[in-house]
Amino acid sequence: MATAQSGVVRKVRSLRRRAARRWRIARSPRASFVDLNRDYRRTLLLVSSARSGSTWLSDILEESLRCRMIFEPLRRDKVALARGVPWGRYSDPDDTDPELDDVLTRILTGRVRSRWSDKFNRYRLPRRRLVKEVRATNLLPRIVEKFPDMPVVYLLRHPVPTAWSAAELQWKPYLKEFLGQSPLLDGPLAKFGDVIAEQSVDGSPFQKHILRWCLENYVPVNWLAPHSVHVVFYESIVEDPEGELLRLGRYLEGFADGGWQLAAARPSAVDLPSRANYRDTPVLAADVRLRAWCDEVPEDDIAAALELVGVFGLDRIYGSDVRPLIGPDDVLVG
């Protein structure tokens, strides 16, 4: 009898805790906010590969701009609106695609709400939005054409630490979502068919993440016109956050209709771990932070990764050095 009673007590306590948690969420800015301005020019889009520091940068920008955070709304297992959009989706800007355009429009005008995409929001009455996404790099040419007056930040990080971090976390590379897209494989990536087929089958988990990095950065690098988006390197933010924020501020000045203005004070998020710090690493000095992967990743793996990056011609951006080989203004060649 005592055992049965204690079981009932535990269940009641569990139900109370869950109810209290739901109530806290319902009252928090994650659920209780008002975003009524449907002008896409009020949105800043931040796009990168996964594990490139985009959550850290979005933390910085959210604090500096005091805007609504829309976190990875194209994660289709979490956001119903995005169920039909695979990771790395590509669509030629000249092709008619009303369903995709509707999804993008709803996201970029703030007409998306979910527990996942709003989980980091801090502001109840935001005047602007920050959309942070790691699945939309191949959509950038279409987005830039369809939403020409919206500021877009394209973040790049060295592929070796990016892929190594994802592999260490045992994340899936989601290559099937890329390989299932004939417009992508028969279009921009057609000449790489053999190497894509080989690496997607025989590559190690780390090498498959390197392949994904190539598959999701080849298109924006080669199809976007210079200066059509704001390119920023993770490594540059680590070494000179104030300088990179000033550079971003100058870019945002060209979008007066959005009312963009970065706060003058250094955001506290610069010196804090990212909210996606899943490896629970401390905030290290800049040089140590950039060079950490050199000691973690075996030399043979680094060599193989850079060889694959070279096949896609992306070795002009990143090589054996921990820093990019070119400046941000030289990345886009479309």
pLDDT digits (tens, 9 = 90+) for 272-312: 988 888 777 788 899 999 999 999 999 999 999 999 999 99
Mean residue pLDDT across the chain = 93
- Whether pLDDT at 328 is above 60: yes
Please give the average per-residue pLDDT across 190-206, as a whole number. Answer: 97
Where do the structural domains in the chain lie, given as residue ranges? Answer: 1-32, 36-330
The two tokens of residue 295 are 């000691």
User: For 223-267, how does the pLDDT look when each residue is reduced to its tens digit (9 = 90+)?
Assistant: 999 999 999 999 999 999 999 999 999 999 999 887 898 988 899
With cut-offs at 50, 70 and 90, classify the pLDDT of residue 3.
low
Whose CA is closest to 77, among 68, 69, 86? 86
148 pLDDT above the threshold of 80: yes
- DSSP letter assigned to residue 51: T
CA quadruple 101, 103, 106, 108: dihedral positive or negative?
negative
Give strand pairing partners of 130. Answer: 44, 69
Residue linked to tokens 């060649």: 333
Q: What is the pLDDT of residue 20?
A: 46
For residue 278, the model assigns a pLDDT of 73
Vertex 281: Cα angle to 276 and 283 (nearest 5): 95
Residue 145: which of 62, 225, 210 has the closest Cα? 225
2-25 mean pLDDT: 59
What average pLDDT does range 306-328 have in this prediction?
A: 98
* Rounded to 5°, angle at Cα 167 from 45 and 205: 115
Q: How far is CA 57 from CA 11, 100, 154, 171, 297, in A?
A: 41, 27, 11, 21, 25
Instruction: Render pLDDT for 258-270 as a digit per residue (tens, 0 to 9).
Output: 789 898 889 999 9
Is the domain spanning 36-330 CATH 1.20.120.920? The answer is no
Type of residue numbered 190: A
14-28, 182-196, 211-225, 317-331: which range is least confident on average? 14-28
